[in-house]
Amino acid sequence: MINGMIIDPKDNVAVAIEQIKKGDLITYLNFEKEAVELTAAEDIQIYHKFAIRDIADDEPIVKYGEHIGHAAGLVKKGEHVHVHNVKNVREDLG
């Protein structure tokens, strides 16, 4: 059952399309239409983000192909990504 989705190939987070509990299996389709599975490291509310891979401290968080902030510390694959581990940064978009 698909319970997560990504929009852009550059994304390093996906969106939960239903409530996900810690330890649940998360499944989303990659851009080759292959099912990707990972385990939820935390509870994830519906429509909230989760990391689809480890994201290094200060690395940009990318959702819908756009930078939405930087990781405030290491964010591990399967972790909930929200205000507690994302910091706002001002980028020079020129």
Domain that holds residue 15: 4-87
Asked whether residue 93 is domain-assigned, the answer is no
Evaluate whether 59 touches 81 at the Cβ level (below 8 Å): no
Asked whether residue 94 is domain-assigned, the answer is no
How many distinct structural domains can be found in the chain? 1
**Token representation of residue 45:** 């509310």
Per-residue pLDDT averaged across 65-78, rounded? 96
State pLDDT tens for residues 4-16: 999 999 999 999 9
Asked whether residue 92 is domain-assigned, the answer is no
Asked whether residue 18 is domain-assigned, the answer is yes
Whole-angstrom CA distances from 64 to 9, 13, 56 are: 9, 9, 19
Cβ–Cβ contacts within 10 Å for residue 9, how many?
Answer: 10
Amino acid at 32: E
State pLDDT tens for residues 37-64: 999 999 999 999 999 999 999 999 999 9
Model pTM score: 0.91
Q: Which of 12, 5, 15, 6 is nearest to 48 (CA)?
A: 15
Q: How confident is the model at residue 91 (pLDDT cuts 50, 70, 90)?
A: low
